[in-house]
Amino acid sequence: MEYLYETHMHTAEVSACALNSALRQVISYKKRGYTGIIITDHFMNGYTRCPKDLSWEEKVKFTLKGYFEAKKAGDKYDLDVFLGWEFTIKGSDFLTYGLDMDFLLANPGVDKIGIEKYSALVRKNGGYIAQAHPYRDEYYIENKYPVDPHLIDGIEVFNSEDRNTANAKALEYAIKNDLPMQAGTDSHGRGNNNHSGIALQFRAESIFDIINAIKSKQVRLL
């Protein structure tokens, strides 16, 4: 038996590009047979609905609002919901897992730092960082290539929102640099039926089970 997990998804509560609410996302993934999802709403330095004039504590609470709504719905519909976010640096996005509200509250201004400092901070606090859609070709992305492989723990080699050429390049980069790989839908609720993610041979009890499975290359990419 396999257990399906979405690694990259957004909610309309937080991400400005998303159409589906956290509740609708949970129901949709439950119907599709997924065991769990990782909410990766855009961070406050990305395409977020978070007002800029809030205090740091208020920004943190806003940024995690989609996760908490999804967690409440997941408990009702028996879908495991884990916390993550999509951190943006000059248009490049980095999926971050394994950290929580306490980490964010303790690091005001983290949204202003570069990839070297962010990577070090995430890892120092036991988190995981993976570059999302590294070859995406959009006007707002300053660097359309992967960062130094030593700065990330994994890389998204399949994103169902991207063209095949971008995914193929990401896969080639991962193999060349022996990076752990993951796949994700980048779900926004916009009618994309090409759902993706990863499959595990066991049901994850925590986000760290998923992190360890990706790092040890014990996942099947959907």
CA distance 212 to 154: 11
Q: Delimit the domains of the chain by residue range.
A: 3-221
Give 54-99 pLDDT, tens digit per residue.
999 999 999 999 999 999 999 999 999 999 999 999 999 999 999 9
33-53 mean pLDDT: 97
Residue (of 83, 94, 105, 116) closest to 182 by Cα position: 94
The one-character DSSP state at 15 is B
Q: Is the pLDDT of residue 152 over 90?
A: yes
Phi, psi of 70 (to 5 degrees): -65, -40
Domain 3-221 falls under CATH 3.20.20.70: no
